[in-house]
Amino acid sequence: MRIAICDDEIRFDEELQTILCAKEAACGLKLDIHIFTAAEDFLYEIEEMPPYDSVFLDIELGSENGIRIAEQLREKYPATLIAFITGYRQYIDDVFSVQPCGFIPKPIQPKRAVQVLETMIRLAGIVPVFEFSQNRNRYRILLKDVFYFMSDKRQIVIVGQAGEQRFYSKLDEVEAQVGKLSGSFVRISKSVMINLQYLVNLDQEKAVLANGTKWMEFRISPRYRQGVQSKFKAMWK
């Protein structure tokens, strides 16, 4: 589990690192922990390096605001789990816009820090995440936020809550990878695989997905029709 701790007070960074490392064996995970005392260094890291699985983030980082940094982190890596560290209780109501999975008040209590770590480990295991590479960067996206995958020549197009993303692969390979993570996706043609969680209309020849005011209609190829109907019935049950 790749973890970042970002707090401008090194004593809190090291204290939290010690607490987490003490639970490493009990959790059955190797914890790869990186410490940042400057917000600028952490911001550079999340732009240039692979994403972190979990981030412990101080709300007050010198001239920077941890909540704003969390918003940038959530936009770029929606699957990264975030917990806040702060000595100021008044910030608790402000952090929920970035969906944190924990809150660690200062001074740090080992029991509370371990509880947050265990929550992160549990969430990391139950939230299906699709990973792909593009331009030497590694990306992770929540499958629940994906409307459909589409093959376009040698590229795969992901269309979802975050807009459109592309990477080089084959839809057969994506289908195999997604099938191990989620039961809500089904192939409807040679070039399209949809997320049945967004399905609003289905018949023998077409499937219609919707997200708010956005409607997406697809033709179901004859060879895939029986499989689509079976998958939908199974998911409905």
Query: 118-157: per-residue pLDDT in tens?
Result: 888 877 766 788 989 888 888 888 888 899 999 999 999 9
Asked whether residue 116 falls in the same domain as residue 136, the answer is no
Q: Which residue in 167, 137, 131 sits closest to 152, CA to CA?
A: 167
Q: Which domain holds residue 214?
A: 132-236
Does the pTM surpass 0.75? The reply is no
Q: Tell me: pLDDT of 101 over 90.
A: no
Determine the distance from the C-alpha atom of residue 118 to the mean position of all C-alpha atoms in its chain, rounded to a whole number: 17
Structure confidence at residue 155 (pLDDT): 96
Asked whether residue 109 falls in the same domain as residue 157, the answer is no
d(CA 15, CA 10): 8
- First-to-last CA distance in the chain? 35
Asked whether residue 10 falls in the same domain as residue 114, the answer is yes
Query: 164-223: per-residue pLDDT in tens?
Result: 999 999 999 999 999 888 888 999 999 999 998 899 899 989 999 998 778 999 999 999
In a 10 Å sphere around its CB, with 0-12 CB exposed, 13-18 middle and 19+ buried, how is residue 182 labelled? middle
Asked whether residue 6 falls in the same domain as residue 122, the answer is yes
Angle at 68 between CA 64 and CA 74, to 5 degrees: 135
Domain count of the chain? 2
Query: 6-54: per-residue pLDDT in tens?
Result: 999 999 999 999 999 888 766 667 889 999 999 999 999 888 887 888 9
Task: Give the domain CATH number at 207.
Answer: 2.40.50.1020
Average pLDDT over residues 226-235: 86
Asked whether residue 222 falls in the same domain as residue 136, the answer is yes
